[in-house]
Structure 1
C-alpha cells in the first residue's frame, strides 16, 4: 500500500467516517456491493475535500449490517428450523424412540405401551387406554351429527373438539395432567368413530376396538397384531409437518386437545396422512388388472410419482415398512395384496431406485382386511396422536411463543400513498 493511500484511510478515521474498504468489511460484502447500497438509497456517502474515495457514517453502516443479519436469520430460520427433542432420532435408515430401536419396540410391545414409553420413558406392560363416559359421549354425538360424506380426519377433529368442550380441566398444562388427557383422548377418538361391525369391541387393547370401526370382518390374531404394530410403528417420526404444527400450537400454550386438532388439520393432506389411501386404490387397481405395469405406467404418464415408493428421510428401505411387511406375511388373507405390492415395486424399479415405504405396507394391511381406502388415514391419525402429545409435552417446557420465525418481506417498500378509490375495479 502506498503512503498516499494510507494517508487517505487515516484521514477518514480522524473524522470518524469509514472508507469504502472499511465499510465493506463491516458489512461483509465486496466494495462494489457498498456502492450498490448507495445507488439503492440504503446507504449514504460523501467525499471529503481532496479525497478520491467515498466515506460513510459508521452508525449508518452498522445499522445496515444489523438489518442484513436479521434478514439472513429470517431466511435461515424459515429454511432450517431446528427443534431440540428427546423423542425420536432418525439415523442411517433406522429410527429410535428415546434411544431404543423403534421397529423392535413396536414388534414387541403394544401401541399403548409404546405411547407410554414416549410420554414417560417407562414401559407399563398390559396398559389399556379407556375413554371416560362424558367426553366419549360428547364426541360420539358430535360425530353423528356430521354429514355422511365426511372423511375420517373430519370425524377425529370434531371428536377432539367435542371432548375438549366436555373437559373443564383441559387448560391444566402440567405434565401429569397432559399425560392423563392423552390416556383418555386417544380412546375417545376411537370410540367416537362409527362402528362397522354390529358387535364391535369396547374393551381390551385399542387395536381391537379400532378394528371394529374399520372393517366388517372378524379379525384373526395375526391381523390384530399387524394393526397394533402398525399403530406403534407410526406413533412418531420426528418433526413431520403435522408434528411441527402441534409444536407451534403448544408453543402458544394451546391445550392438548387444540394441539392435536392442529396436527389433524395438517395430516389431512395427500402428501402426509392421506397418502396410504392413494396406495390402497392403486393396489385394488393392480389386483383388478392382474398386473402392475399399466397402473404404474398411468401414474408416470400423468406426471405423478408412484405412490408408496420412496421417502425423503430414508435413502434405503423404510424400517417401518420392513417391520410391517414381515407381519403381513403371517396374515392369511394378505397374499394377493402383498403380491400386488411386490409387483408395483419390481415394475417401478425398472425406472427408479425407490424402496417401499410404510404407506405401501399400510395399504396392504387395509386392502387385505376389507377396510375402506380411508382406513389408513384413520390408523395414521390415531397412532400419531400419541407422538403429538409427546411433542406438546416437550414444547410446554420451552419458552412460550418461541416458534415464531421472522418473515422476509419482499414487497413494496414504504412509504406508499394510500390507494386511490377511483382506480379500483368497477368504479
Structure 2
C-alpha cells in the first residue's frame, strides 16, 4: 500500500499551513482519505512529493535574445475556477442561464440576484446609506468642472470605502451588502442632468442612471433598453478587468478596492472605454455615410472600433440582443442601419470579425437616446461592478495570494 501522511506531516513537508493543505485538497491538487477511526485525513505521500517538486521547480531563464515564456501564476499555472459565467458555442450564460434570455425577462436588480446566487425572485435592493450619499454629494461638488463621468465613478468608490467600517469583513453577505450600496453610490455620485423618471423609493437603477446621462425623460422603451444593456454587461468570464479584480481579491483587498482595480483596467481604449470611440465613429457615419468614414479609418491604419470579438466566432450575441432593442426606439432603425453599413463597408460579408460587438451596440443605444459619448463607458462600469464583486467572493474562498506571476527575466545577470 502507498504510504499515507497526516495533514500535519503534509504541511511540514510542503512548508505551508494546515489550512493550505486543505485548500490543495479542495482544488483537486491532493486527494485525501479519512484516517482510521474517522479523525482527520490522510494523503498519498507520492502526490505530496510531486506537489512539492512542482513548487521547487525553478523557472527557465531564456537564452540571450530569446523572448521570455508566458508568465505563469506562482510555481504553476492557476486555473481560475468559476461558477459564474460560461461562454460556449457562441453563447453567454450566467450560472447556466442564457444571458440574452435573462436580459429579456428581468431587470438589472434581479440579474444581480441571480449572479450572486440569490435567485431572480430576490432582486437586490440598490440603495446608498444617507450618510454616504451626503459625503458623495460633497465630494462631487468639490470637483472642478469638466471631470469625466468615469473618473467620478472611481472617486466615488474611494469615498464610499473610507466611510464603511465593515469594508474588511470579507464574508459573502457583508460583501453583497457593501456592493449593493456601492453600485447605488456610484450612480448617486454622477451629476443629475434630467428628472428621475421614477423618483419613488423603489425606482430602478436604470431609471436613476438615465437621469445622470440624459437631458430629457426617457420613454418606457428607452429605459427598458438601458436596463437590458446593464444585464448583458454584468459579467463576461475572465475579461481583463475581472482578472484585475480577482488579483486584488487574491491579496484580500476589500470589495471597494476590488472594484477600484476593475475600474482602473477599464480606463484604456481596448476594454471598457472602447464604446466612446465607437460612438464618435458612428456619429460620423450618420453624418457622412459609412464608406468614406470606414475608408478613412482603413487609409490611416486605425482599427474600426466596435467590430468583432475573439470569443464569439459567429458574432457577439449581446450586440444582437441590444441592437434589436435599439431598433424599436424612436430613430433607432436609422442608427442600426448605420451599424450594418459599417459592417458592410469594413469588408466582405459573412466575416465574423467584421460584425458589431457590444461596444458598437452601446454606441448605437447612446446615439439613439441622445446620450453623451462617454455614456457607454459609464454603463459598462456600473453594469460590471456586481460581476467583479461576484468574482471577488469566489476568490476570497481560494488560497490567498495564489495569483503571483513569475517574470521571465531578460536583463543583465548579476556579476560574480
Using structure 1 for the length normalisation, give the TM-score: 0.78
Residue 154 of structure 2 corresponds to residue 163 of structure 1:
no
CA distance in 2, matches of 1:113, 1:97: 12
Quick check: 2:306–2:356 contact (8 Å CA) kept in 1? yes
Root mean square deviation, CA, Å: 2.4
- The correspondence for 2:130, drawn from 130, 133, 154, is 133
Cα drift, residue 134 of structure 1: 1.2
- The correspondence for 2:293, drawn from 287, 292, 295, is 295
Question: Equivalent residues in 2 for 1:82-97 (5 A)?
Answer: 82-97=79-94
SS of match in other structure, 2:87: strand
Residue 373 of structure 2 corresponds to residue 361 of structure 1:
no
Residue 72 of structure 2 corresponds to residue 77 of structure 1:
yes
Cα drift, residue 82 of structure 1: 3.2
Quick check: 2:136–2:189 contact (8 Å CA) kept in 1? yes
| Cα separation, partners in 2 of 1:297 and 1:166, compared to 1, 3 Å | same
| Cα separation, partners in 2 of 1:275 and 1:201, compared to 1, 3 Å | same
**Equivalent residue, structure 1, for 2:345:** 347
Cα drift, residue 130 of structure 1: 1.4
Cα drift, residue 75 of structure 1: 3.2
CA distance in 2, matches of 1:198, 1:233: 25
Cα drift, residue 124 of structure 1: 2.8
Task: Tell me which moved more, 341-350 or 378-387.
Answer: 341-350
Quick check: 1:111–1:229 contact (8 Å CA) kept in 2? yes
Quick check: 1:310–1:357 contact (8 Å CA) kept in 2? yes
- The correspondence for 2:185, drawn from 184, 188, 192, is 188
Aligned length: 353
**Structure of higher CA gyration radius:** 1
Quick check: 1:296–1:306 contact (8 Å CA) kept in 2? yes
**Equivalent residue, structure 2, for 1:304:** 302
SS of match in other structure, 2:212: coil
Quick check: 1:139–1:160 contact (8 Å CA) kept in 2? no
**Equivalent residue, structure 1, for 2:408:** 408
CA distance in 2, matches of 1:351, 1:297: 16
SS of match in other structure, 1:249: helix
Q: Output one character per residue of 1:120-145: Cα deviation in whole Å (capped at 9) or x when no partner.
A: 24223555411111112212222222
SS of match in other structure, 1:248: helix
Quick check: 2:71–2:405 contact (8 Å CA) kept in 1? no
Residue 317 of structure 2 corresponds to residue 319 of structure 1:
yes
Cα drift, residue 74 of structure 1: 7.0
Using structure 2 for the length normalisation, give the TM-score: 0.80
Question: Equivalent residues in 2 for 1:60-71 (5 A)?
Answer: 66-67=57-58
Quick check: 1:107–1:229 contact (8 Å CA) kept in 2? yes
Cα drift, residue 195 of structure 1: 0.8
Q: Output one character per residue of 1:7-31: Cα deviation in whole Å (capped at 9) or x when no partner.
A: xxxxxxxxxxxxxxxxxxxxxxxxx
**Equivalent residue, structure 1, for 2:97:** 100
Quick check: 1:128–1:206 contact (8 Å CA) kept in 2? no
Quick check: 2:113–2:122 contact (8 Å CA) kept in 1? no
Cα drift, residue 202 of structure 1: 4.5
Question: Equivalent residues in 2 for 1:12-91 (5 A)?
Answer: 66-67=57-58, 75=70, 77=72, 82-91=79-88
Gaps of 5+ in 1: 1-61, 417-427
CA distance in 2, matches of 1:255, 1:277: 30
**Equivalent residue, structure 2, for 1:284:** 283
Gaps of 5+ in 2: 1-52
